[in-house]
Amino acid sequence: MPGIIRKTSSTGVYHVMLRGNNKQVIFEGRKDYLKFQNFLFQKCHPQDSDNNPLPPCCVIYAYCLMPNHVHLLIQEKEEKISDVIKWITISYAQYYNIKYGHSGHLFQGRFRSENVEDWDYFVTLLRYIHQNPVAGGLVGRVRDYTWSSWCEYENNPACQISFCSTGSVLSRIPMDALTELVNEPLPKTQRILDINNETPIRLDDEIIREFIRVDCQVKNPKDIQSYPIAERQAILKRIRAFGGSIRQISRITGISESIVRRAE
């Protein structure tokens, strides 16, 4: 069966996630994290055989190396994103397999990605990626995690390998404003590509109600029935895009399934 063709981002920016096969640990210790960082560095700052700098293969704006998975906020440059990720994963897998006598696949299948088409979602991902260790219970504060790009943003001495394009981000948002956002937990309604949602999941009714209340600014879902047609359909479209099923939206709002189905 041919592989699924990835949609191309108009900005060239992607949120990429890699995870260990069967969610196995891929970083056993400090040297493993550093090795992976080094491979990222080589793609951001490549050199020829005489150590002369070459154009970057990619630009990385944020990353987080978790024990069994990796998040990257990355932009295509001289190489396609698929070629960049393929080189990184193969290089690291070869290192890991030799070091630990491991056989078989280290990473699970093809890498997963989503397009980043606008600045608002870009900032959301900056927050999400850096909040990963806190959400995972590894540290209490974003700044306490060594293996993420937040070390670079804060110029933390613990950061031994620097390769992120932090300057281009900070030219658009001041550090104090970014720090405030990164330390403010994202709302539960924010859906982002994650290690635990490889396939679409059914959202709980309460999550849908919260999305309607907070994001659509509708206190009572049943009120949508009385909205003008265009406004009603626009809201239903947003709820469907968020992940609500036709039957679920119909049940929560009291609007017929046929009308909900037309909101595409």
Residue 80 sits in a domain whose CATH number is 3.30.70.1290
pLDDT given for residue 21 in this prediction: 87
Residue 5 lies in a domain: no
Asked whether residue 150 falls in the same domain as residue 230, the answer is no
- The edge-to-edge listing of strands for the beta sheet with 112-115 is 58-65, 69-76, 13-19, 112-115
Q: Closest Cα partner for 63 from 93, 18, 31, 105?
A: 18
Q: Whole domain around residue 146: which residue ranges?
A: 13-182
Asked whether residue 42 falls in the same domain as residue 160, the answer is yes
Asked whether residue 152 falls in the same domain as residue 33, the answer is yes
Residue 3 lies in a domain: no
* Domains held by the chain: number: 2
Asked whether residue 51 falls in the same domain as residue 176, the answer is yes
Q: Closest Cα partner for 96 from 43, 41, 39, 146?
A: 39
Q: Which of 14-18, 108-112, 143-147, 168-172 has the lowest mean pLDDT?
A: 108-112
Query: d(Cα 243, Cα 238) in Å, to the nearest integer?
Result: 9
Asked whether residue 210 falls in the same domain as residue 120, the answer is no
Is-contact 71 129, C-beta < 8 A? Answer: yes
Query: d(Cα 112, Cα 195) in Å, to the nearest integer?
Result: 9
- 188: pLDDT confidence band, cut at 50, 70 and 90? low
Residue 66 lies in a domain: yes
Residue 54 CA: distances (Å) to CA of 49, 107, 165: 10, 28, 16
pLDDT digits (tens, 9 = 90+) for 77-110: 989 999 999 999 999 999 999 998 988 889 987 7
The one-character DSSP state at 49 is T
Asked whether residue 45 falls in the same domain as residue 126, the answer is yes
Is-contact 110 198, C-beta < 8 A? Answer: no
Asked whether residue 29 falls in the same domain as residue 147, the answer is yes
Residue 22 lies in a domain: yes
- 238: pLDDT confidence band, cut at 50, 70 and 90? confident
Query: d(Cα 75, Cα 58) in Å, to the nearest integer?
Result: 6
pTM of the shown model:
0.72
pLDDT digits (tens, 9 = 90+) for 215-233: 889 999 999 999 999 999 9
Asked whether residue 60 falls in the same domain as residue 159, the answer is yes
Query: d(Cα 147, Cα 115) in Å, to the nearest integer?
Result: 24
Residue 251 lies in a domain: yes
Asked whether residue 20 falls in the same domain as residue 140, the answer is yes
- 200: pLDDT confidence band, cut at 50, 70 and 90? very low
Residue 7 lies in a domain: no
Asked whether residue 23 falls in the same domain as residue 120, the answer is yes
User: Rg of the chain's alpha carbons, rounded to an integer?
Assistant: 21
